[in-house]
Structure 1
Amino acid sequence: MKIVFTDYPFFLLPSILQAAMIYYPIIAVLGILANVISIVILSRGKCGLSKCVSRYLVAMAAADLLVAVIDVLLFRVNDLYFPTTFLFITQVCSFHHALNHAITDISVWLTLSFTFDRYLMICCHKLRSRFCTEKTAARVIATVCSLFCCKNIPWYFAFEPIFSVHNVAWGCNLKQEFFIDPTWICFSWIHRCFSPLLPMFLILLLNALTVGHILKASQVRKNLRGGKNGANQNDAELESRRKSIILLFAISGNFIMLWMTYFIFFLWTKITKRYYFTGFSDPVLIADETSYMLLLLSCCTNTCIYAVTQSKFREELKSGMKYLPRIMLKLVKEGNQCRN
């Protein structure tokens, strides 16, 4: 059976477990609340963003919400506090792992899709009218979701039970073939290349191209507007680009920073072929857990980015916070009336 860490005094647990037992519940709560708020506000369409951008941001918030629920709450928190629930049955556990990987891939590739959409909008004038539309955004989102759900099906077959009770298989251990069979090794590399190696490279490339285009276009516009005198004049086009690029760089930069530790650790394990831990104080285990902590933090940071970079989002958030107590009070009154 799995160890129930809550059966032991908290102060006797290893430091990495203490940190995890505090960290993951906080991330689960913040991730769920932040993404629900983002979905509600962005869906109202009052943030001054185009319908295309709003589609991508709502989809990204929905994917992050699923990460917070499926990965953080039902996987990390459940394993630490309730490790003997039905989620530990092998079939359920294997499906959970496959779904976990699919949701994470979708979240990553929606970030890349948004970055590519902004690249087309800013740098490719001939293509933006055709591709930077709400309808195209919906198609891209549906394609990404379908593709990565199918791509992660093999994860369901990568696990074997740890033990059996009354002919019911419990637990999920990666099969030994996963580490030695060429097919599984190839699948593992493809999986890591798709998330996060290729997205990280493409995001950095697209951002570099976007910055180069903006700097060049800005210089041309300043020259056309009269050199130094024109540089001080208000330019609505440049201001619009500035706001778009701040949002783009904040989201993509946040993604790269939070995934970087995970990516470096993955490369290290492949180079050293160190796939095991000797104990809770093993630096390899601590590095592995830290990389996941940073990775999963990304599921609740985009809302903070919207609040910092988008003034209209902040206004909608403040407005919602004002009405929330009224709504709660109204619900309490209605509940009391129903009881009476």
Structure 2
Amino acid sequence: MHEPANGLVYAICYPILAAVGIPGNIMAIVILSRGKCGLSKCITCYLVAMAVADLLVVLTSVLLNRIIAVYFPAGFLSITPVCALKSVLVYAAKDSSVWLTVAFTFDRYVAICCQKLKNKYCTERMAGGVVGTVFALSSLRNIPWYFALEPLYFINNVPWYCNFKFSFYKTPPWIAFSYLTHILTPFVPLILILLLNAITVRFILVTSRVRKALRGKNCVEGGSDPEMENRRKSIILLLTISGSFVLLWMTFTVHYLYFRITNSYTYTGNNDPLYVLQEAGYLLLLLSCCTNTCIYAVIQTKFREEFKHSVKYPFTLMSKLVNGNILF
């Protein structure tokens, strides 16, 4: 299991990620759940689920596995059974976040490119089923991590910290499990997201030309096309979310490929370029769980309005209480 990096930069960056990611994702969950952002129930279901998964990543990977491990290295969470359980939660949360992004990308692909399948697939019920399946499979698939770890040492018969068993590096089942883990997260998702986005964008460009040709004079005179406007907004949201995911996971992916190809498993110190690349990859990976709220705020006008209302509400309520305008 990857241990948290020590140093001033990481001691500052991880608390900032937690300070931004936890309230940001909670705010996104609350605002999107109210259903006042002008989004369909299907899209809302996926975005709420993605915010929940991102919140779980921040809580497990940033708060439990980074901040507490850096500032409280010998606490309750360092006891081996708890440490192993924490590892399962960390991997499960990351998998859920990644594959929900893939599910959302596929849903938008179907909605835009597969009109015959759209009415059956792009529904709130189907979205809920997909979300539940992703969370369930992500949890089940990562249970083996609990059994891959053993105590680093014992103190008064109490097992402390987590260390990979020797068999994890030598036996075929564990080797296959390790490779499968990294293939499923993030290589397959990256390929699927890039492929689906390419097909979706191409379809929109082709249909846009056809619709303009059919509309003829109306388009020349600047007549609006509600269908293409809805598609444009949908594709902007899709490309921004999936593009952010690809960019922020790319450093981690490049590092993994490099050390697997070169078998570079050790570092000369904290200033080793490979070590810096590794930690930058983890930091950007975790940053990806804090960006979606910013994306919603930039792209969705109604989300911004709801966000401003939510921020102002406590102050408005306090003002009414002070002025005695609220009756009990």
Deviation at 1:276, TM superposition (A): 2.0
Q: For residue 122 of structure 1, what is the aligned residue in structure 2?
A: 112
Partner of residue 100 from structure 2, selected from 110, 115, 136 = 110
1:19 aligns with 2:39: no
Matches within 5 A, 1:86-165: 86-165=76-155
Partner of residue 231 from structure 2, selected from 241, 245, 262 = 241
Q: How does the TM-score come out when normalised to structure 2?
A: 0.94
Q: For residue 166 of structure 1, what is the aligned residue in structure 2?
A: 156
Q: For residue 288 of structure 1, what is the aligned residue in structure 2?
A: 278
Matches within 5 A, 1:7-86: 17-86=7-76
1:78-104 superposed Cα distances (whole Å, 9 cap, x missing partner) = 111011110000010011001100110
Separation in 2 of the partners of 1:120 and 1:231?
A: 31
Counterparts in 2 of 1:103 and 1:331: CA distance versus 1, 3 Å: farther
1:90-134 superposed Cα distances (whole Å, 9 cap, x missing partner) = 010011001100110000000000000000000000001000000
Deviation at 1:316, TM superposition (A): 0.6
Counterparts in 2 of 1:318 and 1:227: CA distance versus 1, 3 Å: same
Deviation at 1:330, TM superposition (A): 7.7
Q: For residue 318 of structure 1, what is the aligned residue in structure 2?
A: 308
Counterparts in 2 of 1:231 and 1:24: CA distance versus 1, 3 Å: farther
How many residues end up aligned between the 2 structures? Answer: 321
Deviation at 1:222, TM superposition (A): 0.1
1:226-283 superposed Cα distances (whole Å, 9 cap, x missing partner) = 1685472211111000000000000000000000000110111111111222322222
Separation in 2 of the partners of 1:286 and 1:327?
A: 47
Counterparts in 2 of 1:74 and 1:329: CA distance versus 1, 3 Å: farther
What amino acid is aligned across from residue 213 of structure 1 in structure 2? F
Identify unmatched segments of 5+ residues in structure 1.
6-13, 334-340
Separation in 1 of the partners of 2:317 and 2:204?
A: 45
Q: Is the 8 A contact 1:24 1:76 kept in 2?
A: yes
Quick one: percent identity of the two aligned structures?
Answer: 53
Q: How does the TM-score come out when normalised to structure 1?
A: 0.91
Matches within 5 A, 1:224-263: 224-226=214-216, 229-230=219-220, 232-263=222-253
Partner of residue 298 from structure 1, selected from 280, 288, 292 = 288
Deviation at 1:327, TM superposition (A): 4.2
Q: For residue 213 of structure 2, what is the aligned residue in structure 1?
A: 223
Aligned alpha-carbon RMSD (Å): 2.0
2:271 counterpart SS class:
coil
What amino acid is aligned across from residue 60 of structure 1 in structure 2? M
1:241 counterpart SS class:
helix
Identify unmatched segments of 5+ residues in structure 2.
324-328
What amino acid is aligned across from residue 247 of structure 1 in structure 2? L
Counterparts in 2 of 1:177 and 1:324: CA distance versus 1, 3 Å: same
1:184-233 superposed Cα distances (whole Å, 9 cap, x missing partner) = 11111100011000000000000000011100110010000116854722
Separation in 2 of the partners of 1:20 and 1:332?
A: 42
What amino acid is aligned across from residue 146 of structure 2 in structure 1? Y
Q: Is the 8 A contact 1:222 1:231 kept in 2?
A: no
1:300 counterpart SS class:
coil
Deviation at 1:179, TM superposition (A): 2.2
